[in-house]
Structure 1
Amino acid sequence: MTYHHLSVLVHRQAEKYGDRVALKYRDYDKAQWMPVTWNQFSETVHIAANALVEMGVSEQENIGVFSQNKPECLYADLAAFANRVVTVPLYATSSPSQVQYIVNDAEIRFLFVGEQFQYDAAISVLPLCKSLERLIIFDRAVVKEERDTTSIYFDEFLKMGEARQHQAIVEERSNQANSEDLANILYTSGTTGEPKGVMIHHSCYLEQFRTHDLRLLTMTDKDVSMNFLPMTHIFEKAWCYLCINKGVQICINLRPTDIQMTIKEIRPTLMCSVPRFWEKVYDGVQEVINKSTGIKKSLMMDAIKIGKIYNLDYLRMEKTPPLTLRLKYKFYEKTIFSLLKKTIGIENGNFFPTAGAAISDEINEFIHSVGINLVVGYGLTESTATVSCITLTDYTIGSVGKLIDGLEVKIGKDNEILLRGKTITKGYYEKAEVTATAFTEDGWFRTGDAGYMKDGELYLTERIKDLFKTSNGKYIAPQALETKLVVDRYIDQVAIIANQRKFVSALIVPDYGHVKEYAKEKGIEFASMEELLQNSAIISLFKSRIDTLQQQFANYEQVKKFVLLPEPFSMEKGELTNTLKVKRNVLEGNYKEAIDKLYEE
């Protein structure tokens, strides 16, 4: 099969699909979804590509895109690729110092910005970025600073290319584009040290198109994908390109907090997410079950039990379920499961990829039991997303599936997963020494993740750099314990503390709504959340639930003490990365006093 280079892909798809809808975005003023046809998509990219030439963009130079998810992000990306230009996405939540670092490191001249927050952050560091010449603003509602004489709005930018006066240059550049051109520089969110720019070449995306055709057999141009994760993240970025390649309609969710509303408006067949989304679904169902009584509760619990036998014991193993089981399942499918999916907004679901963090076996089993095709996978920025994912049948709960075609794996020292293949990065931008240490002498990429292969499937055990060693010499894998604890409906966020300590402790951010509800039921009075979380009855509640959840862990791995925090971990305090991963060193600094108290004799 022929896979078109990203420099021309949207135009080839427009020739094929014409006035079919390619994209949708929500117009918040009109409270409706606005369609963009393949022809309109292609034409806008043509015009934007001409505008880039008019601005003086050179082949293989770097331009930045600093925005939340918007159609303009795709227009900028594909217009850049038509000119053999590299795009550097910045997370919409990036601080001015992060923007300054990336702009300077990648020597960006032109930076596309989304809304007021991104504009304000970018304009504040303009004097500190020698290379930065101009901001192009997506949102017309952005108010520019009076001293700003160089920034233009996106509609003004498009006018620069409306006449398509540079079409011959764009076409010449597109014709010269090849798979060895650099496509993106994706900066890691930096849980430790300064961000590194991961270089992703066009060859990486072209290879992922091929491998996903072999793996995702039910994905077609009839699918509708909800774009929920940030396009800055390799998971969503590669997925969007794959959707364009497959002719899938992409519905762009502008505001992550609105997903519960927008998913019901679109009712997609596909959506990439992180496990946290499914943890919330599981939590919601458990809440309904816990509040139910009598026959309603019995029916829901029986439905999940039957669903597990039907989907996991039979269909997963490619066995034919017996007639009685089929009839029972069909009944629950049309009643309880159908209502659940409709409540979430995924009753039209085909499958739902999830990656980015560990998902607990309990939640994984539950989601499959209720008939949702959750495609659990594993990937990194450096591997252009997917390394492995489960298939629709013949997979094991607890694994992250089989490796994609053409990718090699080897288990190295400390059980580190080593990778080699066409989707692996060639290295980090302008960082030869860091690149050299990221690969073995014989060319295998060091993932930093520990794991093992069994019966053709990959299993993850821990993140090597996150491994803690207690003062007693015992090794602790915090993520395994965190994944287990966060399943509990009373726990929203958790960070394990153990490095060079006598025992394991934890910082816990409760689900404040559930804790308040519990206090009301038990008649516990409180003036503030801080006071409530220091109440002995609340502490006892958490202790009993934690003790139950961690039974499978060795005694030295179990949480002995914990602190309940009245405020959640946040990006503003530097405790979370842009991809919501915990910055352990920052947390330990911010909560040093509380942590030290736990270890007082």
Structure 2
Amino acid sequence: MTRAQFWAPEFRVEKRDDGTILMEHPGQAERLADTIPARLKYWADTTPEATYLAQRADGGDWRRLSYGQVHERVRSLGAALLDLGLSQDRPVLILSENSLDHAILALAAQYVGVPSAAVSTAFSLVSETHDKLIGVAELLRPGLIFASDGARYAKAIDAIRTPDTKVAASAPTGDMMDIAGLTGDPAKADAAFDALTGDMVAKYLFTSGSTGSPKAVINTHDMLARNQDMVADCFRFLRDHPPVVVDWAPWSHTASGNKVFNMVLCNGGSYYIDEGKPTPHLIGETLRNLHEISPTWYFNVPAGYEMLLDEFRKDRALAEKFFAQLDMMMYAGAGMAQHIWDGLLQMARDVAGHDVLLTTALGATETGPFALMCTEQQDAPGNVGVPARGITLKLVPNEDKLEARLKSPSITQGYYQDAKTTAEHFDEEGFYLLGDALRPADPDDLTKGFFFDGRIAENFKLATGTWVAVGALRARLVDHFEGLIRDAVIVGENREELGALVFPAEGVTDADLPALQNKLDSFAAAATGSSNRVRRMVVLTAPPDLDKGEATDKGSINQRAVIRERPAAVEQLYQAPRGVSFL
């Protein structure tokens, strides 16, 4: 058993004549506060000296800021934002990696009722056209643009700056203001804080923009606060064990920017900004941080956990430091392979002497994101759990799938300046259309949780009329290749058989053709029918293109965009003999 304490939910299930299922965890979670900034004030009054935020100073020692220090700076900076003319209608646009200045600016804006929008660094630093960033700026009309490094973001800023837009930076250049020099009267900020209401916009978070311009998801103060009530209701251990987080995931995404960041603040924890990443070039910085800080709550993608597991096996001291205070591990972003799952759980038992929950969940930018969570230890990865208290899950038959829809106080009211798209994403009963299909772990007992069963829009039929569940097949294929490919696009709509366009893992070349062919043959041999048998595969040597929509800023692949942009690859897939080829 894990030592951390979680909820013990009870559910009400209704089954309608048309096959629709409604499942809810009745009641509402206990309220922590009316707004997220109210928790900053609470902890500044209660534990003013406790470490809240920390980041390495120029790659050296940790620079730690207490709750009292952050609250004081937030009040001064918040007043300065008001003096600059910012308001609900003139937000702050943040072009920055995770940093202390980024965090304080976002909190200061929330504190005084000014929305902020942190956008993916890929829109500024990877894109050559800045089309997505331009679309964001035209939609929001920001009164202030903030960049962590003025010179590094100068080209992106020039692409979106207007004569009435002010610019500030941590390392300013040219006529940019120094963020450290922006100060104002704290009393003015406190008055704005006292006037906050739940329906005011706290921030905008942008969807990935894989199909056209990114959409601005409205995050109100009440939406964010209610979502954190659900988190605290689920993770009961937070009451007695404030979270310590060592986190690299970007705040431009809801998982870290909302759930993790707000979870730390709402529960009086400490957030250590990890400037590493789960890549061969940057994992060393993560390892350095974990040698010094023992997290209590840890998030990573499966590839990151695989790198950590390899290091734990070589470095007992690192493993002991990591598991010393750990309450739970969470993964998302991709499916986790069984050998990584088993290795992490066994490592926890060996090092900590007890089980540590390893789990995943299901949510979206539009859901806050906390929605479904699995807190029962599983034998295998993939179970995304059950709905949080206050959420109603609606499962609607769609072909041979169950389409998931959600209703709760923590779901967005819609997309900024886009009534048409908003209407398209809610059904006649006010449920948000998640776009995902779910498969019950036990059809006779829905309290056992659910498995992700693919994106509804991705599924298609073969020429025989057989439905193909793309999401599940794609995950199994990538998992089967055991690190040789990093993602796959399933092809075969209106064709006789399936094929796959795959992006190879780093270092994989045509010299690996025999290994790839062996894996493809064994995958095909294990198939149970035409809906999951893949015997054709083209390895794409050119990486996915962000500007063409083939990849999102999160690194996930847009299936339809890849097929649309690479007709030669699709032609080769079906013109060449069955097997593996490179393009």
Counterpart of 1:210 in structure 2 is: 229
Instruction: Work out whether residues 187 and 195 of structure 1, in 8 Å CA contact, stay in contact via their aligned partners in 2.
Output: yes
Provide the rounded CA distance (Å) in 2 between the counterparts of 1:341 and 1:82: 38
Distance 1:179 1:337 in 2: 50
Q: In the aligned structure 1, how far is the partner of 2:344 from the partner of 2:189?
A: 47
Name the structure 2 match of 1:420.
Answer: 407
> What is the CA–CA distance in structure 2 between the aligned matches of 1:228 and 1:118, rounded to whole Å?
20
Q: 1:312 aligns to what?
A: none
Q: Distance in 1 between matches of 2:65 and 2:154?
A: 29
SS at match of 1:204: helix
Partner AA of 2:44 in structure 1: A
1:342 corresponds to which of 292, 314, 319: 319
Change (3 A) 1:116 1:178: same
* Equivalent AA in structure 2 for residue 387 of structure 1: A
Measured at CA, do residues 573 and 410 of structure 1 come closer, stay the same or move farther in structure 2, by a change above 3 Å?
closer
Aligned residue runs from structure 1 range 368-387, under 5 A: 368-371=345-348, 372-387=356-371
Cα distance in 2 between the residues matched to 1:433 and 1:107 = 20
Partner of 1:52: 81
Which residue is 2:116 aligned to? 87
- Partners of 1:67 and 1:118 within 8 A in 2: no
Does the 8 Å CA contact 1:253/1:259 hold for their aligned counterparts? Answer: no
Q: How many residues align?
A: 515
Report whether the alignment pairs 1:470 with 2:462: yes
Change (3 A) 1:118 1:496: farther
Residues 510 and 59 (structure 1 numbering): CA distance in 2 closer, same or farther, change over 3 Å? Answer: closer
Are 1:75 and 2:96 matched, yes or no? no
Secondary structure at 2:255's aligned position in 1? helix
Q: What is the letter of the counterpart of residue 122 of structure 2?
A: T
Counterpart CA distance in 2 for 1:79 and 1:446 is 33
Unaligned runs of 5+ in 1: 286-334, 516-528
Q: Report the CA distance between 1:262 and its aligned residue.
A: 2.7
2:3 is aligned to: none
CA, structure 1 residues 186+383, in 2 after alignment: closer, same or farther (shift >3 Å)?
Answer: same
Deviation of the 1:341 alpha carbon: 6.1
Partner of 1:250: 271
Contact kept in structure 2, 1:356 and 1:378, CA below 8 Å: no
1:398-442 CA-partner distances (Å, limit 9, x unpaired) = 421121111001111412101111111111111111111111111
Asked whether the 8 Å contact 1:387–1:404 carries over to 2, the reply is yes
Higher helix share: 1
Counterpart position of 2:196: 177
Task: For 1:185-224, list aligned pairs within 5 A.
Answer: 185-219=204-238, 220-224=240-244
| Residues 1:441 and 1:2: Cα distance change in structure 2 (over 3 Å) | closer
Superposed CA offset, 1:433-470 (max 9, x none): 11111111111111110114442112221101111333
Is residue 2:233 matched to residue 1:241? Answer: no
Indicate how the Cα distance of structure 1 residues 462 and 59 shifts in structure 2: closer, same or farther if over 3 A, else same. closer
Aligned to 1:492: 486
How has the CA–CA distance of structure 1 residues 337 and 24 changed in structure 2, closer, same or farther, with 3 Å as cutoff? same
Q: Which runs of 4+ in 1 moved over 6 A?
A: 335-338
The letter for the 2-side match of 1:273 is: N
The answer to whether residue 257 in structure 2 is matched with residue 225 in structure 1 is: no
What secondary structure does 1:108 align onto? coil
Give the aligned partner of residue 522 of structure 1.
none
State the secondary structure of the residue aligned to 2:360: strand
After superposition, the C-alpha distances for 1:365-424 in whole angstroms (9 at most, x for unaligned) are 443343353221111011101211111547875421121111001111412101111111
Tell me the distance in 1 between the aligned counterparts of 2:313 and 2:339: 19
Give the one of 490, 496, 516 matched to 1:542. Answer: 516
**Contact 2:462–2:493 (CA<8 Å) still a contact in 1?**
yes
1:111 and 1:234 mapped to 2: Cα distance?
Answer: 20
SS at match of 1:585: helix
Contact 2:338 2:380 in 1 (8 A): no
> For residues 357-368 of structure 1, what are the structure 2 equivalents within 5 Å?
357-360=334-337, 363-368=340-345
Q: How is 1:133-532 mapped onto 2 (pairs within 5 angstroms)?
A: 133-138=165-170, 140=171, 143-144=173-174, 149=175, 151-156=176-181, 158=182, 161=183, 164-165=184-185, 167-219=186-238, 220-238=240-258, 239-256=260-277, 257=279, 258-265=282-289, 266-281=293-308, 284=310, 339=316, 342=319, 345-346=322-323, 348-360=325-337, 363-371=340-348, 372-393=356-377, 397-414=381-398, 415-453=402-440, 454=442, 455=445, 456=447, 457-487=449-479, 488-513=482-507, 515=508, 529=509
User: In 2 relative to 1, CA 422–275 (structure 1 residues): closer, same or farther, beyond 3 Å?
Assistant: farther
Cα distance, 1:439–1:214 mapped onto 2, change above 3 Å: same
Q: What secondary structure sits across from 1:542 in the alignment?
A: helix
Q: TM-score, normalised by structure 1?
A: 0.79
SS state at 1:405 partner: coil
User: CA 1:512 to 1:578, structure 2 compared with 1: closer, same or farther past 3 Å?
Assistant: closer
> Aligned equivalents of 1:396 and 1:508: distance in 2?
25
Counterpart residue number, 1:561: 536
Contact kept in structure 1, 2:242 and 2:267, CA below 8 Å = no
- Code of the residue aligned with 1:137 in structure 2: it is A
Instruction: Give me the CA root mean square deviation.
Output: 2.8
Aligned partner letter, 2:177: I
Q: In structure 2, what is the Cα distance between the partners aligned to 1:229 and 1:587?
A: 25
Query: Do the aligned partners of residues 446 and 553 (structure 1) sit closer, same or farther apart at CA in structure 2, a change above 3 Å counting?
Result: farther
Matched residue type, 2:365: T
Higher RCO by CA contacts (8 Å cutoff, separation 6 or greater): 2
Alpha-carbon deviations, 1:169-215, whole Å to 9, x = none?
Answer: 32221111122221121111122232111111111221122211221
CA shift in 2, pair 1:136/1:421, >3 Å:
same
Query: Contact conserved, 2:335 with 2:382, CA < 8 A, in 1?
Result: no
Output the CA distance in 2 between the equivalents of 1:206 and 1:552: 47
Match of 2:44 among 14, 22, 25: 14
> Following TM superposition, by how much is the alpha carbon of 1:243 offset from its aligned partner in structure 2, in angstroms?
0.6
- Residue 577 of structure 1 aligns with an amino acid whose one-letter code is T
Q: Deviations over 1:573-597 (max 9, x none)?
A: 7531111110223322443223211
Does the 8 Å contact 1:49/1:83 carry over to 2?
yes
CA contact (8 A) 1:263 1:345 kept: no
Counterpart residue number, 1:298: none
Q: SS of 1:493's equivalent? A: strand
Determine the C-alpha separation between the residues in 1 that align with 2:47 and 2:155.
39
Matched residues, percent identical? 21
Report if aligned partners of 1:68, 1:255 keep a CA contact under 8 Å in 2. Answer: no
CA contact (8 A) 2:53 2:66 kept: yes
1:217-271, Cα deviation, whole Å (9 max, x unpaired): 2235543201211011101012101111111110012353534423442342322
Query: In the aligned structure 1, how far is the partner of 2:535 from the partner of 2:151?
Result: 42
Amino acid at match of 2:515: L
Aligned mates of 1:10, 1:436 — CA distance in 2: 35
Task: Give the match's secondary structure for 1:386.
Answer: coil
* Counterpart position of 2:142: 108
Which of 89, 94, 102 is the aligned partner of 1:65?
Answer: 94
Residues 45 and 75 of structure 1 are in contact (CA less than 8 Å); yes or no, is this contact kept in structure 2? Answer: yes
The amino acid across from 1:104 in the alignment is E
Larger radius of gyration: 1
